[in-house]
Structure 1
Amino acid sequence: MLDVHRLRLLRELDRRGTLAAVARALNYSPSAISQQLTQLEAETGVKLLEQAGRGVRLTAQARILVGHTDAILERLEEAEADLRASLTEVSGTLRVASFQSVLLALIPPALTLLAERYPKLRVEIEQQEARSAFAGLVARDFDVVLGEEYPGLPQQQVEGVHTLQLAHDELWLALPTTGRHADAVASTAARAGANVRLAELADLPWILDPHEGAPGQWQRNLLRSGGFEPDVRFESPDLLLAIHLIENGHAASILPGLLLTTGDRRPRMRLAHLPGRPHRRLTTGVRAGAARHPAVRAFREALRTGLRQSIHEPPA
């Protein structure tokens, strides 16, 4: 009988690439990982690892085992989910990866709700960009990840991940109302009302997400569709920094409505609909075997409840 723990170590080596990376992730020493995999070779009777420079790589036989290991771990998670569902109390630890706008807008009310309903459920949260978060989900670093999909930039489907749509979130043009650019913004807005023409914003400085990520790519493509190359003075994924710079008259940006429509404070800026009123798609992802786990279901429902209770239409 093959040892499931050793099979998982082999799978982690396949995903993480080196014994040192597996050791760091699972709090083992590299030598302990190596010993466990040597024992797995003895159990299977085939060679699983071969030298590759200073490291090792999986043999064809090892990759066959990894494929079966994914299915085995999924069934084990399904068994755990069914077992937990048979109990009357939701407890344990749920590890969540999310990006900033959801962390700011939806996570606090969701945590409040969970604390009231399920006091024995511990939720641990880490801020992560969606792509690395989904990699961590598959590697079992996280149990739930929040994802986002921008128009024309579909989120890559990850095998073995169960995804549910959380919401469609409108993306807004955010313009300064103070500082040296305020008069130009006011003049443009007065002519166009809530529907500002992008071409009239060519002279504004911008704060945008980093260009290599989906949000930053989408923002730049949209502004270029207005016939100009945006003058990106500030590049940062920090939405609070973007709000601060806009409120103080130093830049314009494109912001998610989720950040603008939750809580009591409304940002001091002019908001305008973008052409076509584009939305990003917000999702929650879990490993397929854990979709029925009570803690996962409770967290997803808490997010949906927080969304219904917190979202208001921003003033244009």
Structure 2
Amino acid sequence: MFELRRLRLLRELALRGTLASVAEALSYSPSTVSQQLSLLEKEAGVTLFVPDGRRVRLTASGQSLAAHAERMLALNEEARAELESLQALAAPVRVAVMQTAAQSLLPTALTIVAEHEPQLRVEAAEVPPEEALFELAARGYDIVVAEQYPGHARQLGAQLVRQSLGDDPIRLALPPESAAQTLSDLHNVPWVLEPRGTAARRWSVQQCRAAGFEPDVRFEVADLTTQVRLIAAGRAVGLLPDLVWNDSARTVRLLDLPGNPTREIFTTQRSSSVARNSIRTVLQALQQAFTQRQQAVDTGATSTTHPWS
């Protein structure tokens, strides 16, 4: 009989490629991971992996067992979801949230959860979507809040399901004293954008190219509040979503972009966890938090409705 925890180690190895990365992800020592995988090989009676430079490579038997491990882990999660529905105390729900959602949606969502399910423990971490979606598939989180830019659909594994929260407008952010009126006016000024490889960076660069120029990216900053400060100080311009403003006073000048583009904010979970009542509770709270914020914007209750300069 296979031991489920060892099967998870094999699945993690198939995803991450090195014993060290598996150990780091699961808070084990590399020696413990190696020992447990060696025991799994003995249980299987076949060679599961072989050295490949600094990494390890799964054999055909290892790949086959890793695929079975994924299905067994999913069945385990489904069984736990059914048992959870029959008892009062649920397991913690682990949420990975991108920065703007952490600032604008998470506090309200947690308040809603506390009002309806005060015993439910929610654990949250601010994680970039690219990393969070990988960790969701690896069972590091139960829910991910991420974004999708126009024309840049995110690839999701077959084991993941998604639910749209709504659209978040994106606008051109300028220093207060800037006289620019269109995107094409900014071909010779410094830009601040998110790091290379992110969906936001790729989309922003494409907008500049469509306007006829390559942006002079002098600052690569993942923290959008830092981007705001650089722009407010007159050191750069950028493209920022409305969620970044939260309820704080605006310190930059905003211009609408042609076509009024928006990014989609969505939640994702594993298909094997859809029956968990606790996860449904958190998802509903996140949706309610997003809806409340949009309603506040529509009624003028947040600074995002201030006239553009």
TM-score (ref. length: structure 2): 0.89
Give the % identical residues. Answer: 40
Q: 1:286 aligns to what?
A: 269
**Compared CA separation, residues 68 and 242, structure 1 to 2 (3 A):** same
The Cα offsets for residues 120-148 of structure 1, whole Å up to 9 and x where unpaired, read as: 22222222211111111122211111121
Q: 2:237 aligns to what?
A: 252
Asked if the contact 2:130–2:198 (Cα under 8 Å) also holds between the matched residues in 1, the reply is no
Q: 1:223 aligns to what?
A: 208
Q: Gaps (5+ residues) in structure 1?
A: 189-196
Q: How much has 1:41 moved relative to structure 2?
A: 2.4
Q: How much has 1:90 moved relative to structure 2?
A: 5.5
- CA distance in structure 2 between the partners assigned to 1:259 and 1:298 by the alignment: 25
- CA distance in structure 1 between the partners assigned to 2:151 and 2:71 by the alignment: 32
Asked if the contact 1:92–1:120 (Cα under 8 Å) also holds between the matched residues in 2, the reply is no
Q: 1:176 aligns to what?
A: 175
Say yes or no: does 1:119 pair with 2:118.
yes
Q: 2:26 aligns to what?
A: 26
Q: 2:301 aligns to what?
A: none
Q: 2:226 aligns to what?
A: 241
SS in structure 2 at match of 1:199: helix
Asked if the contact 1:84–1:294 (Cα under 8 Å) also holds between the matched residues in 2, the reply is yes
Q: Gaps (5+ residues) in structure 2?
A: 299-303
- CA distance in structure 2 between the partners assigned to 1:135 and 1:118 by the alignment: 28
**Compared CA separation, residues 200 and 19, structure 1 to 2 (3 A):** closer
SS in structure 2 at match of 1:276: coil
Say yes or no: does 1:68 pair with 2:68.
yes
- CA distance in structure 2 between the partners assigned to 1:90 and 1:255 by the alignment: 41
Asked if the contact 2:95–2:142 (Cα under 8 Å) also holds between the matched residues in 1, the reply is yes
SS in structure 2 at match of 1:218: helix
- CA distance in structure 1 between the partners assigned to 2:201 and 2:192 by the alignment: 10
- CA distance in structure 2 between the partners assigned to 1:297 and 1:16 by the alignment: 29
The Cα offsets for residues 82-108 of structure 1, whole Å up to 9 and x where unpaired, read as: 221233x46432221121111111111
Say yes or no: does 1:276 pair with 2:264.
no
- CA distance in structure 1 between the partners assigned to 2:225 and 2:63 by the alignment: 44
Q: How much has 1:154 moved relative to structure 2?
A: 1.3
Letter of the 1:75 counterpart:
L
SS in structure 2 at match of 1:298: helix
Rg comparison, structure with higher value: 1
Q: How much has 1:275 moved relative to structure 2?
A: 0.7
Letter of the 1:150 counterpart:
Y
TM-score (ref. length: structure 1): 0.87
CA RMSD for the aligned pairs?
Answer: 2.0
Q: 1:82 aligns to what?
A: 82
Letter of the 1:37 counterpart:
L
Q: 2:289 aligns to what?
A: 306
Say yes or no: does 1:95 pair with 2:108.
no
- CA distance in structure 1 between the partners assigned to 2:226 and 2:288 by the alignment: 28
Q: How much has 1:234 moved relative to structure 2?
A: 2.2
- CA distance in structure 2 between the partners assigned to 1:291 and 1:46 by the alignment: 35
Q: Which of 184, 187, 195 is the matching residue for 1:202?
A: 187
Q: 1:142 aligns to what?
A: 141
